[in-house]
Amino acid sequence: MQKKVVVITGASSGIGKALAEKYAGEGCSLVLAARREDRLDELKSRLTGADVLAVKTDVACEDDCKNLMEKAIEKFGQIDVLINNAGISMRGLFHKTEMDVIRRVMDVNYWGTVYCTRYALPHLMKSKGSLVGVISVGGYIGLPGRSGYSASKFAVRGFLQTIRVENLKNGLHVLIVAPGFTSSEIRKSALVENGEQQGETPRDENKMMSAEECATHIFKAVEKRKRDLILTFVEGKFTVFLSKILPRFVEKMSYKMFAKEPDSPFK
């Protein structure tokens, strides 16, 4: 992985930040993207010894995504890995949720992946590089109270699977990553039914996989050019497997689990 140029979206916190630290430690050149420019600059200042370009980017804006890839090529001349990590979540019953909430989640999670992939793809094909999408177990199973979130992650999975098939003979590597519950800020910034941020996580973050552990798994999967990576056993691999043979059971268990959350929108 040394000398590779890696573009990471959503790099200012959580899994994205941990990925930046991991790839910097492995000697890669980095292009870091996020909306919070101050956090990007802070992260860049701490990644001493790595060649880092920080680009303020709102992945929901197509022009920002195009600019991100142009800046990456302008500085480094190539793109070897694109990790579509930027994402937001939501929490609320669909029939009570404002439509703008669903649109915002789709704009970031789905369209952000589409835009970044579109403008990075010619360079990834040239380098025979890796295209990575960070989805969720919610991209395999519909999560109650997260209709827009699950829909966006299902869409990303279908999109990336199609890109993989279209480029079977081009040497492009496509990896779809589905972390289980991982400690990050995504639940704190999740949108509620009226579009405001949730503010407090409804789950115990201390019992989740750390962002650093998740980043290490993703790094190894890219290095080995794996197709799919589902993280955590019970909430990840086992649940996805079980949903194929006992879908009704998994649906009932999902309902019970999310209904136990503090201030759950359903009981």
Q: Which active-site residues does the annotation give? A: 149
Residue 73: Cβ within 10 Å count: 17
Buried b (16+ CB within 10 A) or exposed e, 22-43: bbbeeebbbbbbbbeeebbeeb
Neighbouring C-alpha atoms within 13 Å toward the C-beta of 77:
1
Sequence-distant (≥ 6) Cβ neighbours of residue 117 within 8 angstroms: 82, 84, 131, 159, 160, 163
Nearest partner of 9 among 119, 104, 102, judged by Cα: 119
Cα separations in angstroms, 158 against 58, 81, 89, 248: 23, 20, 19, 23
**Helices and strands in the chain: count of H runs, count of E runs:** 9, 7
Query: CA-CA distance, 115 to 22, in Å (whole number)?
Result: 25
* β-strand partners of 146: 92
